[in-house]
Structure 1
Amino acid sequence: MFDMSRWYMRLGNWAFNLVLLNILWFLFSLSGLFILGIFPATAALFAVLRQLIMEDEDLPVLKLFWNKFKSEFMMSNLIGYLILIFGLILYVDLRVLQQLDNNILQLVLASITVVIGIVYLLTLLYIFPLFVHFNLKFLQYPKHAFILAVAKPFQTIMMLGGLAIVYFLYMNFPILILVFGMSLISFVMMKVASFSLPRNVFSHAVE
């Protein structure tokens, strides 16, 4: 028989954890002046969500977040800035192409850049879920993230749909950005990604 009270308690526990994780993500990002803090905080956020989703909902969130933040500090910054720099290069390329005359060369270059941009965005969907789940070499993370995005089109569409719903909620109820912010976005990404990830594999930063 469906236990409504248990369902409410579970929903309330998840809401509390998401609010707490959003606060922790902001504070730990701020602790590194965002320059050095945002990517380790994001990795810690995904790592905690991974364990909440795949292993146990009753975890010491603050302690686990802190441990993950420390252990993933260097590698997450390397991964994060690789993604950021590549994204900036793509943006600059698009801006430069917009200034060129409309001809066949411009069309070809623009088409190639758009395709690369799509690959880049698909990779972003899975990069942190894979980072906190597998122990891979540095350049294997973006490669496997893209492979997973293409190999699991249904999950990728689900993730895009879930993120679209979150975007709709945030645009119509801006207060939710303050309450859930990054944690709800990460939850959608990690939850959908978990359908494609084996449950018996632990990340390289398990404490």
Structure 2
Amino acid sequence: MEFNGLMAGFYKISLLISRMAYVNILWLAFTLAGLVVFGFMPATVAMFSVVRQWINKNTDVEVFRFFWKTYKTEFLKSNALGAVLLVTGTLLYMNFQLVQASAWWMMMLRYFFLVLSTGFAVMLLFIFPAYAHFELKIPHYIRTALLVGLSYPHYAFAMGVGIYGMQELLLFAPGFIPFFAASCTGYLIMWLADKAFKKLRYQPG
């Protein structure tokens, strides 16, 4: 059945809403299937891979099959990346907390770790889009995400603003959190990151 005019618009919106809810439920289910600790990374990679297909106009992709295939294929590699990110983030946090004294050299160290932490946060914004977009080794994902984020800080800033706005919106209507929190946030980040990736003049590798 084909729709025209206003009905066509309503149909596209309802289809998008149903897709976002579906992939969010898949993300929750597969995160829990991996006992959260081992499920979060592959489920998030799979979710970003699905929304990347939609952003690139491949709306006919079979969501469950594509999600499950990506989840299985990237399970070990994504969890290895997650371990690296967790250890790095923990070390940065611990060092930042330890440098609390008022001595000038301690203040310099504090600013140093603040810069490192900011770079780490920027890298985190682009790490899942980079994983979904490129086929790389783990260190290259981190390097690519960091370089793209620093090269296009306006996209990183837009991601931060978008995430904050999404959080406020969902807190206003918390009933939508189980159905849209991850997928809508992922779609926003992937959409902005995809624009940055298309501006690259080199192929990461």
> TM-score, normalization: structure 2?
0.90
Number of equivalenced pairs: 196
**1:14-58 CA deviation, whole Å, 9 max, x = no partner?**
111111111111111111111211100011010111111113123
| Identity of matched residues, % | 29
Structure 1: segments with no counterpart, 5+ residues: 200-207
SS at match of 2:116: helix
SS at match of 1:56: coil
| Structure 1 residue aligned with 2:202 | none
SS at match of 1:183: helix
Retained in 2: the 8 A contact 1:43–1:69? yes
How far apart are 1:113 and its partner, in Å? 0.7
Retained in 2: the 8 A contact 1:126–1:193? yes
Amino acid at match of 1:157: F
SS at match of 1:195: helix
Amino acid at match of 2:76: M
| Structure 2 residue aligned with 1:139 | 139
CA distance in 1, matches of 2:10, 2:146: 37
CA distance in 2, matches of 1:179, 1:65: 17
CA distance in 1, matches of 2:169, 2:144: 31
Amino acid at match of 1:182: A
How far apart are 1:176 and its partner, in Å? 2.2
**1:102-147 CA deviation, whole Å, 9 max, x = no partner?**
1112201110110000000000111110111111122011111111
Amino acid at match of 2:93: Y
- Of the three residues 86, 89, 104, the one matched with 1:87 is 89
| Structure 1 residue aligned with 2:50 | 48
CA distance in 1, matches of 2:198, 2:152: 14
> TM-score, normalization: structure 1?
0.89
| Structure 2 residue aligned with 1:172 | 172
Retained in 2: the 8 A contact 1:22–1:183? yes
SS at match of 2:149: helix
Retained in 2: the 8 A contact 1:29–1:38? yes
**Structure 2 counterparts to residues 72-151 of structure 1, below 5 A:** 72-98=74-100, 101-151=101-151
CA distance in 1, matches of 2:169, 2:42: 27
Amino acid at match of 1:75: K
Amino acid at match of 1:11: I
**Structure 2 counterparts to residues 187-206 of structure 1, below 5 A:** 187-198=187-198
**Structure 2 counterparts to residues 6-85 of structure 1, below 5 A:** 6-85=8-87
- Give every structure 1 segment of 4 or more consecutive aligned residues whose post-TM-superposition deviation is greater than 6 Å: none
